[in-house]
Structure 1
Amino acid sequence: MTPSLIIDAHLDLAMNAIEWNRDLSRPLQEIRMREMHMQDKPDRGRGTVCIPELKKGKIGLVVATQLSRYTPPGSALPGWHSPQQAWAMTQAQLAWYKEMEAIGEMVQITNLNQLDQHLALWNDDQIPDENKPLGYILSLEGADSLVDISYLHKAYEYGLRALGLSHFGPGRYAPGTKMEGPLTALGVELLREMNSLNIILDVTHLTDEGFTQALDIYEGPIWASHHNVREIVPTQRQLTDEQIKLLIERGAVIGGMLDCWAMDIRFIDTVSDPWQLNVRLENLVDHWDHICQIAGNTEHIAIGSDLDGIFGTEQSPWDMDSIADLQKYQGILAQRGYTQKDINNIFHGNWLRFLRKSWKA
């Protein structure tokens, strides 16, 4: 099949570059070889994402994150001991994106004109994909690093266009995955300030109570960048049918993620093996099918892979070696009865429609 343009709405590129010390401009095998004797992280030598592989897979546009957690006293989670330190890390990550721009490997997309120009480039078959820059929309995963509300405006000025209030554990603006409870007072204030900037709210990682609050308070565009279905994987991290219905009513798009524990309830991270449990790329289609049955169409599902989000091939579908294998979904979806129009929706059409509507104002 001819490769089709893919938009991936969740990749922690700068985290991998800065904290994992991966030169993502280099070939994947070279990055893996660099890590062959390293044992500080469980995914060493097993990464799946780099800029050459993204281009090989015709993944021409991504939502790329800044990610830096503040850890309060008593928390077992890794993180920074002050919001100022967390902010400083996000600025290091921002500097890496700017360095990739400086060498022509990436280009930031912040508005419709830039989006249209970038799409025209990636639709130009006269230019080899490896010679095209990777487009990125900047997102902040977890708002801990915003020292106070004024920092939201600083971030918007350098191109931040999407924001999730929480990540894992306790948060300054909202509790996250594996937690319960409402948004903090700061979180409520932040949502109201986001309204003035029309920043996309990413509901991923919110608690159930925080999710409901956020949808009640926030008037701007909302998406779920990397979320699967709780009916299939019954953990708090995934979306309930009622949450899916609410997102559909708001015109949201839900990005399916490829972390094995979010695809198959049997999988235990750092313990299970994808091959032994037969966790394949097709598992995600079960989640997409479920959302489509609720929506009555394919207009609210897409890709938000989260690949190399603190895991590698040890926690990814066994029939995937690199992110370029996202192209396999053309055949997988066709075999499951999806039309070419449906596949185009999932690969790029739904994210593009969402962005055009959100940024039109």
Structure 2
Amino acid sequence: MMSRRFMIDAHLDLAMNAIEWNRDLTQPLAGIRQREMHMKDKPDRGRGTVCLPELRKGRIGLVVATQLARVTPSGSPLPGWHSPQQAWAMTQAQLAWYREMETLGEMVQITDTATLDTHLALWNNNDIPDEEKAIGYILSLEGADSLVNISYLHKAHAYGLRALGLSHFGPGRYAPGTKMAGPLTAAGKELLREMGQLNIILDVTHLTDEGFDQAMDLYEGPVWASHHNVRKLVPTQRQLTDDQIRRLAERDAVIGGMLDCWALDIRFIDTVSDPWQLDIKLSHLADHWDHICQLTGSSRHIAIGSDLDGIFGTEQAPWDLQSIADLQQFESLLSGRGYSEEDIDNIFHQNWLRVIRRAFR
């Protein structure tokens, strides 16, 4: 029987899927896939794994949900907006979608200890069916490009932004990101100082190695890596080195394991490889978790930041996952590897809650 343990997923691009992929996430997954079955504009059409009903089915009652809008300079091959103002406007469209989900009672924003405790009490109330419970969300900004200037950080904090990553892919206005090298920009250092005043969680995901070191040196507030795996197992710049993992553990930070196949197995090539042919399963993520636990000496620094439907679907996810509700398989998988009940609770929710509560003080 599938476990009913409460779970937190610390990285889901829900609003991007709703606004840019035009997915009605209030609908059943089968209906979303059916509506896309003849669409060819994106590789993951008809292969999505995330919707609000499936989150409830998997007891994933709290998520860190993103706003995401990159600015791309002239000549960049990456998709993105041509000005910070356009990017900001897109994040506001995404915010409007979250607000609409709140109006429907589908979601509820979590911004402080009081709203967190109320929401956890809801999900611990077995008298209310999970199907009737709202999905809680903590708002995060993936890549800071859309912040036109530092004053926009305060606007975002006022509407509930509680976590922020400086970079995404490619060049960034505040920091270079994945597949790049180099330090934070001057504006990035200024942004870190202002984030510290607001006690916003710094998400180190997507930073360059130099940017990671600088951010960890400069930032004294709460830190996490929302969706990151292990470079020792997948030797690309996108993953964390052992030294980076140790630095995060020293800060009592948490690393969310992600389920994009190229982050699980070095053999996987986007739009070419097949997860089934390479036999990439959910257990691959447990290999990454095992490495971090051995390195840090406990299960306090690992959790789930799946990134499911983050510009990929089942064509680029472990073959034994058809829906985000399948994350519940990790209970038996981890138990079979000798993880204790406490360890599994840590991974499913307690570790994220520890950092969240520290940020909400």
Classify the TM-score, shorter chain. over 0.9
AA aligned to 1:122 is: W
| Matching of residues 22-37 of structure 1 within 5 Å | 22-37=23-38
How big is each residue's C-alpha offset from its partner over 1:103-144, in whole Å with a ceiling of 9 and x where there is no partner? 000000000111000000000011000100000000000000
Moved over 6 A (4+): none
| Matching of residues 241-256 of structure 1 within 5 Å | 241-256=242-257
AA aligned to 2:281 is: R
How big is each residue's C-alpha offset from its partner over 1:231-267, in whole Å with a ceiling of 9 and x where there is no partner? 0000000000000000000110000000000000100
Task: Name the structure 1 match of 2:202.
Answer: 201
AA aligned to 2:103 is: A
Task: Name the structure 2 match of 1:6.
Answer: 7
TM-score for both structures, normalised by structure 1: 0.99
| Matching of residues 1-361 of structure 1 within 5 Å | 1=1, 2-360=3-361
Aligned length: 360
TM-score for both structures, normalised by structure 2: 0.99
* Shift of residue 357, structure 1, vs aligned partner: 2.1
AA aligned to 1:132 is: K
Moved more, 350-359 or 251-260: 350-359
CA distance in 2, matches of 1:341, 1:191: 34
CA distance in 2, matches of 1:241, 1:305: 21
CA distance in 1, matches of 2:271, 2:186: 35
* Shift of residue 358, structure 1, vs aligned partner: 2.3
CA distance in 1, matches of 2:298, 2:252: 12
* Shift of residue 353, structure 1, vs aligned partner: 1.4
For structure 1, the 5+ residue unaligned runs are none
* Shift of residue 354, structure 1, vs aligned partner: 1.4
RMSD across aligned positions (CA) = 0.5
* Shift of residue 298, structure 1, vs aligned partner: 0.3
Secondary structure of residue in 2 paired with 1:274: coil
For structure 2, the 5+ residue unaligned runs are none
AA aligned to 1:286 is: D
CA distance in 2, matches of 1:313, 1:182: 35
CA distance in 1, matches of 2:80, 2:356: 32
* Shift of residue 294, structure 1, vs aligned partner: 1.1
AA aligned to 1:171 is: G
How big is each residue's C-alpha offset from its partner over 1:202-235, in whole Å with a ceiling of 9 and x where there is no partner? 0000000000000111110000000000000000
CA distance in 2, matches of 1:346, 1:142: 25
Identity of paired residues, percent? 77
